[in-house]
Structure 1
Amino acid sequence: MKATGRVIKVFPDDIKGAKHQKFTVKLKNNKTVLVVHNISIAPKVYGLKVGDKVEFLGQYQWNSQGGMVHWTHHDPHGEHPVGWIKHNGKLYS
């Protein structure tokens, strides 16, 4: 899924096991998705705050809350397409 939206919530980093940065984005169609970015593999998106515009590419997985997007980074094993997050002109992968 490739999309652009505004951050509406930033969660504390999940530091159990593989570390993940999590935030919710409201898309142009008013739907929301949770972005789960693995910061054990890719750089953390620093300075991210509510209201910021982000663009991202990752694997969408549906759930009853609207869904989540993960694999927003490179895959060190080459099994998944490369994903990324773009924030303030910087690309995180």
Structure 2
Amino acid sequence: MVRSPLTPQQIAAGKRLGAHLREARGERTLAEVAHAASISPETLRKIETGRLATPAFVTVAALAAVLEIRLDDLAGICVSGGPAHAALQP
């Protein structure tokens, strides 16, 4: 099966998601967060830079749990360009 190319909207959503996750990571190292989410640092790097625009749901859910971000906020960022609720929670 051949995967269809990503649309410009999907690419933009992936970049917004990555930027938000990078901001939420704050001072924590990429390796620390990746390890806590049980993903490779390279996968997290690709997500944060927008090179992996459509990460698997379980990956996003694991990152949301580690970074203490609501999944509906991440969904809002991907779908509409802004969080559904408060963007980053202290």
The TM tier, using the shorter chain, reads under 0.3
Q: Which has the higher contact order (CA 8 A, sep 6+)?
A: 2
Q: Which has the higher helix share?
A: 2
**TM-score, normalised relative to structure 2:** 0.27
TM-score normalised to the size of structure 1? Answer: 0.27
Q: Which has a greater percent of strand?
A: 1
